[in-house]
Amino acid sequence: MKDKTAQIPVRVTLSDDAAGLTRRRFLTLGSMVALGTGALATTALTVPVRRALAGEFTVLGAEAGSTLLFLARDIFPHDHIEDRYYLQALMPLEAQAATDNRLKRLLADGIMTLDRLALQRFKQTYAELERESDRIGLLYVIEHGDFFQKLKGHLVTGLYDNKEVWPLFGYEGSSWEKGGYVNRGFDDIDWLEHNV
């Protein structure tokens, strides 16, 4: 299938005040154009991978797994984090659901409710919705319920306690056993742009 985004002409017109256009502003505009044209391609590439990873959910099922992966990414969105890390964060819930019928029912009912809301509003299930904003809107409806709170609480530790993810955020890990951050460059944040 031919990429239709490549056929969209992009025209940038500079006004008389173009002299006030800084390099940073120009790069920002260029990034916005690139994001607009590249977003569809990125989504198109990640969705099949996410659905393939959903096959790891043998207790809850691949369909539920797909929804949980979308949910995890929508609750804690990090574009630079691969889906496999979200899968790793969710697998303990899958394992627990094998022996905990209450948890299994909570997850199944929560997914069913979310899909019902999505079908009523968009005529598609939650995992079928391409627009992140549509999915986020549905999360606001369920955010105070037990299902959402259980998932959010589990993911906050399941994702951020994963030592494999720490370098992706620029976190060097615990420092107390090495003398603490004060003696090891507490302000060593070269991953943060200083000239914002």
Find out whether 117 and 82 touch, Cβ atoms under 8 Å.
no
Where are the chain's structural domains?
36-165
Whole-model pTM?
Answer: 0.67
CA–CA distances in Å: residue 184 to residues 62, 167, 179, 187: 45, 17, 7, 9
pLDDT at residue 178, as a whole number: 73
Return the closest-CA partner of residue 93 out of 69, 117, 123, 128. Answer: 69
| pLDDT digits 0-9 by tens, 42-86 | 344 456 666 667 777 778 888 999 999 999 999 999 999 999 999
- Residues 74/132, Cβ–Cβ less than 8 Å: yes
* Token digits of residue 159: 């994702």
Count of other CB atoms within 10 angstroms of residue 47: 17
Amino acid at position 142, single letter: I
pLDDT tens, 98-139? 999 999 999 999 999 999 999 999 999 999 999 999 999 999
Q: Is the predicted pLDDT of residue 192 greater than 80, yes or no? A: no
Between helix 146-160 and helix 83-99 the angle, nearest 10°, is: 120
Per-residue CA distances from 12 to 24, 29, 38 (Å): 16, 9, 18
pLDDT at res. 193: 58
